[in-house]
């Protein structure tokens, strides 16, 4: 009898988890539309918001990060945005997603004054809240890969941004995509939880309005 009850409880917990995961993913998928693959088809916005990704041990961008930066530079060149806000992880010495993105943007011709750095974009929700509260961004084109865009756009809108998206999938990324897509299913649950609980970013700090000079944000 006890064993049967334990089995029923376990099955109930599994069923509950499936419902929670499914509901969170549905909410994000339904609310995370509005993106394009073509920079020339993107609507005009104040800034391109480029989300961080892995940097190699030698300090060069991974393929995903390189594609995001190139897509943001294309938005800038096409006049779709006036500024570029790069947001990522710079939480430890020797690992700097933000500085890497800035360096690549400069190499691609984006002026230093139009590049803003967010060194505390430790996750997608942090990046969105900080874009609105620290950098006073009202409208943004969020630049990331397609697998990430629904969650990024849903969170951007929950943070108060008028957001559209640009999918930066310029190439295939190999076997890593399967693990990233699987992780994204769980990340959407966390995203909904962060919004429901009103979780704030790890850091806020002084404001650097996006209308100003990005060189004020140099880390």
Tell whether the model's pLDDT for residue 190 goes beyond 70: yes
Q: Is residue 11 part of a domain?
A: no
- Token representation of residue 161: 């941004």
Q: What is the CA radius of gyration of the chain?
A: 19
Indicate whether 215 belongs to any domain.
no
- Evaluate if residue 8 carries a pLDDT over 60: no
pTM of the model: 0.91
Q: What percent of the chain has pLDDT over 70?
A: 90
Nearest to 49 by CA among 141, 184, 169: 141
Q: Describe the crossing of helices 2-31 and 146-158 by its angle, rounded to 10 degrees.
A: 80
> 196-207 pLDDT, tens per residue?
998 888 888 899
Domain holding 142: CATH number? 3.40.50.620
Q: Which domain holds residue 96?
A: 29-206
Structural domain contains residue 68:
yes
Q: What is the mean pLDDT of residues 62-84?
A: 97
Residue 10 is assigned to a structural domain of this protein: no
Average pLDDT over residues 2-21: 63
Query: And the tokens for 109?
Result: 């011709």
What are 115's strand-pairing partners?
A: 84
Give the total number of structural domains in the chain. Answer: 1
On the 0-12 / 13-18 / 19+ scale of CB atoms within 10 A, 11 is exposed
Q: Could you tell me the pLDDT band of residue 30, with boundaries at 50, 70 and 90? A: confident
Query: Nearest 5°: phi and psi at 72?
Result: -65, -40
Q: At which residue do the structure tokens 């060189």 appear?
A: 215
User: Lowest-confidence range among 9-23, 130-144, 165-179?
Assistant: 9-23
């Amino acid at each position: 009898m006890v064993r049967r009850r334990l089995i029923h409880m376990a099955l109930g917990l599994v069923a509950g988890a499936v419902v929670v995961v499914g509901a969170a993913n549905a909410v994000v998928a339904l609310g995370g539309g509005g993106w394009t693959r073509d920079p020339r088809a993107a609507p005009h916005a104040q800034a391109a918001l480029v989300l961080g990704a892995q940097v190699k041990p030698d300090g060069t961008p991974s393929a995903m990060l390189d594609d995001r930066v190139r897509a943001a530079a294309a938005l800038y060149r096409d006049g779709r945005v006036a500024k570029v806000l790069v947001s990522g992880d710079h939480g430890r010495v020797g690992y700097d997603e933000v500085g890497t993105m800035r360096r690549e943007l400069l190499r691609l011709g984006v002026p230093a004054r139009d590049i803003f750095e967010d060194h505390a974009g430790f996750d997608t929700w942090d990046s969105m809240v900080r874009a609105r509260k620290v950098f006073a961004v009202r409208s943004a084109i969020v630049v990331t890969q397609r697998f990430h865009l629904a969650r990024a756009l849903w969170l951007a809108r929950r943070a108060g941004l008028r957001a559209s998206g640009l999918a930066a999938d310029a190439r295939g990324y190999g076997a890593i995509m399967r693990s990233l897509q699987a992780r994204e299913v769980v990340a959407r649950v966390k995203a909904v939880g962060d919004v429901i609980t009103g979780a704030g970013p790890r850091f806020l700090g002084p404001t650097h309005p996006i209308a100003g000079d990005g060189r004020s944000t140099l880390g």
